[in-house]
Amino acid sequence: MAVKVGDTAPDFTLPSQNGTPVSLQDFRGKPLVLYFYPKDDTPGCTTQSCAFRDQYEVFKTAGAEVIGVSGDSPESHQKFAAKYQLPFTLLSDKGDQVRKQYGATTAFGLIPGRVTYVIDNQGVVQYVFDSMFNFKGHVEEALKTLQQLQTA
C-alpha cells in the first residue's frame, strides 16, 4: 500500500554514501524531502539530482533537508555525489525494501520509479510527487510545498 498525504512516513535505516547508517527519525523536528530515483549517473537521475543540488540552499533556508534514495551501492552513490558535487545524503536501498515500504511506483513494471515525498517536522507526509519524466518538477513541487508549510 502506497504512502499518501496525511500518513506518517514509515521509519527506516539505510547506509549513506559514506556507509553510515541514516534513519528517517534522525530528521524529526525538521522538514524532509525524500526522493526515490532509479539509478545513479543516468541522464534523468543526474538532471533530477543536479536540480536538487542547484536549489539545495533554498531547501536549507526553508529548514529542510534533502535525501535521495536508490538501489545503488554506497560506493556508487559516493562516486555519483562526488562527480556532481551533490551536497545532500544519498541512501542505498539494496533490494528496494524501503521503496516497497513506501509503495513508490515502478515504470513499465521494471524500472524503479521517480517519487518525491515532502515530510513535515512531525513526520507526516504533506505531498507526494510521482513523475518519471518531469525531473525538475520534483524540485519545484517540493519547494512549493515547503513554502506553503512555512506560511501555514
Return the pLDDT at 112: 86
Cell reading at 149: 508549510
> Rounded mean pLDDT of the chain?
93
Return the pLDDT at 137: 87
As a whole number, mean pLDDT of residues 52-72 equals 96
26 pLDDT tier (thresholds 50, 70, 90): very high
> What is the pTM assigned to this prediction?
0.93
Contact predicate 29/119, CB 8 Å: no
Tell the CATH superfamily of the 13-22+29-151 domain.
Answer: Glutaredoxin (3.40.30.10)
Residue 16 DSSP label: B
109-151 tens-digit pLDDT:
778 889 999 999 999 999 999 988 888 889 999 999 998 888 7
d(CA 81, CA 99): 20
- Catalytic-role residue among 45, 125, 139, 142: 45
Does 50 qualify as catalytic in the annotation?
A: no
d(CA 38, CA 144): 24
For the chain, the maximum distance between any two Cα atoms, rounded to a whole number of angstroms, is 40
